[in-house]
Each structure stands twice: as structure tokens, then as C-alpha cells.
Chains A and B, each alone.
Chain A
């Protein structure tokens, strides 16, 4: 097991402008097999210039890893403008100690990311596999897609302990999302597959759904008016109203399922 600690230096975020640092080059698979000096020389973008990781982060390496799977990256310091943490990662583990910026776990294929705080928008965007745990709130477009893309998350598992912003799981085609808090408007928008469970409340969930399943344990505000009531059913001892839709997408395509109390 190897632990790579990356602590953002205080000077990076202490100016008038908090210029984002983009760290998709700092995943366990990309850092695996590198010495401390080599990690310090890995390039990261800071605004419109590329810098050495060692110039922006304090870097320390403990232990040895036989493969990338045994690499754990721990990120510390002010991460609120550190974007793309764990983006595209294939294996290993990342722990982010604090609130993180956008695209955390975007295009992730495997491994595990734990955010010990809030994650800004597009966390888990177009995620393909692996596990993403957000201990705080998630911003908008959780597990959704890049602008114009029509497939969001296709695999993996995401747990948000807090609330999720607008359009959670938009264009989701596979995988699972569990939101323990509330979901803002249009969760599961354009959803085509996979499952979203919302333990709290939701507003206008499931619009333009053509597949997949959304289960809402709390209240639903502003139910989409183009869903068809099917039956009352019992899930885990609780009674739910089952709807199919969205009929605004035509009857042929309305294959989404919504469970509402």
C-alpha cells in the first residue's frame, strides 16, 4: 500500500483571484510507479499556464505499491478551486479532505473516491465505473454529462450523504445513485437507464425519461404532468404509486419508471 499526500500550498489560493487548478493528471493510475521527485514534476494547469505539481502542492510519498490498485492519493488544503479530482481514474483510491471543485470523478472508470465535504457541479459526470462517495452535498449535474452530450453516467455507484443540485443523473444510462438528502429540480432528466434513489424530497423528477427507475422516499413537489399512473405497489414495506413516462417523449419511448409516495 502506498499513500501519496498532495497538500495545496496556501499561496495558491490566497490571492484576489482563486484561479482553478486542474488535476486530472494526479490519479492513482497516473502517479503509480513514480518517485516523489517525478510526481513533483507532473504538469497541472493553473489558469492558462502549466505548472509543476511540486510548485503548487506539498508532496509526500509513504510506502510502496505493487500496482496502481494499491495507490491511495490523499488531497488536502483548500480544494474549493481544484477541479477534476480523480477524473478518468481507473483504479486505486482518492480521499479528498474538504470541499472539492467541479468534475470530481468525471469519466471515472474504476477505483474509489471519497470526498469528505461538498462536491461542486458535474461530480461523477459521465462516470463509467467505480465508486464515488460524497459526504456533504453535491452541486448541479451530478453524474450528468458535458454540454451537448446525450449520455451521462453509464456505470458505477455514487452515494451523496447530503443534498444534490439540479439535474442529478441527467441522461443517466446505467449505474446507481443514492441521494440521502433532497434533490433539486429535474433529477433524472432524460434518464434512459440505471437507478436513482432519493431519500429526501424531489422537485419535478423524471422529466423526459425514456428508461431507468427513480424512487423518491420523501415528498415530490411539482410532479411532471405527463406521467401515467400504473398501480400502487409496496417496496421495503412502504406503499408507492408507480408511474411510467415521460409521455411527452411519445408513448413508444415512455419507458421510465417513477415511484412516488
Chain B
């Protein structure tokens, strides 16, 4: 039995890097310090056994060579291919993915487009006054979760980084901190809060505008009720914000994917800006997958844009609403799709999935999921962070290195993509002859 310390968890955007894992006979036997979902990922489950190609409606096992060749043929022939997923794999794989997208004139997009894509859009418009999670832990005496429920979605977030953690300047932990939750319903996180503000669904935008006006000194124009919240509550929240020496707003999909979407986030970020006329305030998206942030980083340094990049015309064109995965699927633009490290069939709207049933689909993933049922080519890979190493970005943009804990015969995502790219280039070269 070998004990491995400081293991980096490949599950959510918290990317906890203090996990302890016990390995015996090349298998993870015990996990300490991870939340329930992180532990489940590290322990392993439900792997795809072999590469496969669908024939007459049934997936039939084949060799890696055959699956990779078939995938390359589909992609090289496509007129509007989509390469989607990327958020549960490492930056090294994404880098090859972008290269492949350039080679075949594809649209490349990650799961942000159905999650925090609106946040990324908003950040481009108005910036992001933010900080690291370490700063939050050590300094933030006011923690606001807005449309986010970390007790369910980011198991260790409060314990490691925010309300419950003991910080250098806040040694009493939660005794020294205040927790505010704004949400449309009383979540588990809301039950822990010093103050819970319940806003009507779809009315967050109004709430943010009112809060900004108050922070700028114009409370006189704000009506008595804003989105189901009494003006008195708004004024008290504004006072709490003014009084803290260092505050943070963590926001989730309750605001990114409800009415107003990226404009909600623009407004939320501007609340932070308005609070800066009184104190130091920060804001941070509660990014979901462990490397959803990393894809946005790699895609930006490779193409100039963070997600939903259309490379079909030989240059990078970026227009979420037109060039995100769902845009080209539900509009039936896409004629072939490669999904990696994600499960769109579980998460996309019915119109998009219906189209997926009609076009060739390639899946690269360690795990079988509903997308496997739609795939014409399936290529299993190593689990990053368990069987393969690589770089990832935590939700606050801090890069961390995932570790390899056990050996495997599965190739890494990067290796499979590299081989598809080589195969595509070979097909192209032959066509050119």
C-alpha cells in the first residue's frame, strides 16, 4: 500500500489539492479529504472497455487504429464539424484539440457555453475585479453566494476557501465572517446563511441595478419592491457590503442561465465596481468542471477567444448565440461532431440531441454516458488526474498540475487527439495529390 499526499482532485472547479489517496495493486483503495463526488471520481467506475464503431445500429469493438482512422475520415469530410466538451480533460489535450479545429475548419466549444459561458462574455465586456481563493479564505469577512449552492455542487468550497475556513486575518473562521445567500429558493447553503434574500425567478437583473444605484448614493429612486425583495433588505445588504473591508460575490448558474444571462453577470460585476466606491469587493464565477477554466485559457491563447470559436473560414470568429455548440446543433448546421470529456446528450436541449441522432458522432471519454448511445465511434481514454497527468486551471484561474496515481493501458486524451490529427493530415495530403 502506498499513500500519496497532495493529490489534486479532477472533479469540480475547486480543484482541491490536499487529497490523500491510498494505492494498492495499481488501484485506488482509499480517498481522504475529498467530497463525496470527488471521492467517487478518484475511486473509479463504469469504464468503456474497448474502442468501438457502430455498424447496423450496434457498437462493435475494434482496435484503436480502426477507431482513430474512422474518426479522422468523418472529420476530414465534414463541412461544419463541431469539437465540443474539453472541461474534464487537461490543457495539453485542449491544445491539440484547437490544432485539430484549425486543420478541419471546425467550431470548437466547451461546456462553458451551457454553464458559465455568459460569465466569460460578461468578463470581456466589463472585466472581472477578482482575487484568488486563498485571498478569499484569509481576508473575506463577507461572503455572498448568488444563484449558487455549493453545499450540493462544490462540496469543499466553503470549508476550504470561504465561509467555514479559518483565515490568516480571520482566525475564528465563520465566527469572523458573514454569509449572505441570494437565491430563488431556500437551498441548503441558504439555510446556513446569516442572511437569505429570496429573489423572484428571472428578477436578479433588477436587483443588481437597484443595488448599484444604492451603492452610488441614489437610493431615493429605488422603488419599495425590487423583484420581490423589499427595499429595506436591499439597503441592509448595501450596508453590509460597505462595512466589510474585503467582500466576495460567488455566483452560479442561477444567474448565468436565467433570464438576462450574460447581462445579469455584467450587472453583477458592476455591483462590485459600485462597491469599490466604499470598500474592496471581489466577484468570482463558481466554475463547474475542474478544467472548464483551463479550456478558456488555452482557447484564448491559441485563437484569441475563450469558447464557441468558429474556424471555418480560416480565421477565428467568435459569436456565442451563433457559434456555440447548441447554436449549430439545434439550427441543424452541424454535419459531424466530436465530443470529448463531456456528456452533451444528458445536458443539451431536445432539438440539439435530435440533430445528433442524424449526424456522425465521435466520443472520446473514459466513461460511458448517454452520449455513448449516440456515438458512431467510441474511443476510451485514461482518466486525467488518476491515470494521466496534465495542467488544469482552478475556478480562480490558478494553474495546478494533476498527478498520475496508477498505471494504465488506456492512451491519454492528448495522445488520441494527436493520432486523429495526424490521420486527418494524411487524408488531406492524399486529397491534395
Contact = CB atoms under 8 A, between A and B. Distances in A.
Interface string B222-237: 1100110000000000
Given A222-B203, A248-B209, A251-B216, A147 B312 contact: no
Contact of B218 (A18, A146, A167, A251): A251
A19 B266 CA distance: 33
A185 interface: yes
Nearest to A254: B218
Contact of B333 (A17, A207, A208): A17
A47 B104 CA distance: 11
Contact of B209 (A46, A49, A224, A228): A224
A204 B208 CA distance: 13
Contacts of A18: 331-333
A247 to B, nearest CB: 4
Contacts of A207: 205, 209, 263, 267
Contact of B79 (A49, A121, A185, A186): A49
Report which residue of A148, A167, A222, A248 has the largest number of chain B beta carbons within 10 angstroms of its beta carbon. A248
Nearest to B234: A225
Contacts of B274: 248
Interface in A34-86: 45-49, 81
A229 B220 CA distance: 11
Contacts of B221: 225-229, 247
Report which residue of B104, B212, B213, B267 has the largest number of chain A beta carbons within 10 angstroms of its beta carbon. B213
A99 interface: no
A250 B216 contact: yes
B270 to A, nearest CB: 7
Contacts of A224: 206, 209
B263 A48 contact: no
Nearest to A252: B216
Contacts of A148: 124-125
A48 B80 contact: yes
Interface string B362-388: 000000000000000000000000000
Interface in A82-117: 102
Given A18-B332, A48-B105, A185-B260, A226 B209 contact: yes
Nearest to B322: A102
Report which residue of B79, B203, B311 has the largest number of chain A beta carbons within 10 angstroms of its beta carbon. B79
Contacts of A140: 321
B423 interface: no
Nearest to A171: B125
Contacts of B209: 207, 224-226, 246, 248
Nearest to B260: A185
B321 A47 contact: no
Interface in B285-333: 311-313, 318-322, 331-333
Given A17-B80, A247-B218, A248-B270, A147 B333 contact: no
Contact of B80 (A19, A226, A248, A250): A19
A81 B335 CA distance: 14
Interface in A1-32: 15-20, 22
Contacts of A121: 321-322
A204 B358 CA distance: 39
A16 B359 contact: yes
B106 interface: yes
A45 B216 contact: no
B210 interface: yes
B334 interface: yes
Nearest to A17: B335
A173 interface: no
A120 to B, nearest CB: 9
Interface string A160-201: 000000010000000000000000011001000000000000
A210 interface: no
B278 to A, nearest CB: 14
A49 B431 CA distance: 14
B259 interface: yes
Nearest to A244: B221
Contacts of A19: 79-80, 333, 335
B408 to A, nearest CB: 35
A226 B222 contact: yes
B338 interface: no
Interface in B244-277: 259-260, 263, 266-267, 270, 274
A186 B263 CA distance: 9
B121 interface: yes
A138 to B, nearest CB: 14
A206 to B, nearest CB: 10
Contacts of A46: 79
Contacts of B320: 147
Contact of A146 (B208, B319, B334, B359): B319
Interface in A146-161: 146-148, 150
Contacts of A228: 218, 221
Report which residue of A22, A186, A225, A227 has the largest number of chain B beta carbons within 10 angstroms of its beta carbon. A225
Interface of A: 15-20, 22, 45-49, 81, 102, 121-122, 140-141, 146-148, 150, 167, 185-186, 189, 204, 207-208, 222, 224-229, 246-248, 250-251
15 contacts: A18-B331, A19-B335, A47-B80, A48-B105, A48-B311, A49-B79, A49-B105, A122-B322, A147-B318, A147-B320, A225-B210, A225-B222, A226-B218, A226-B222, A251-B218
Interface of B: 78-81, 104-106, 121, 124-125, 203, 205-206, 208-210, 212-213, 216, 218, 221-223, 226-227, 259-260, 263, 266-267, 270, 274, 311-313, 318-322, 331-335, 355, 358-359
Given A121-B322, A224-B206, A248-B208, 10 more contacts: A17-B334, A45-B312, A49-B105, A141-B321, A147-B319, A207-B267, A222-B227, A225-B210, A226-B210, A226-B222
Leading 3 A-B pairs by shortest Cβ distance: A48-B105, A47-B79, A226-B213
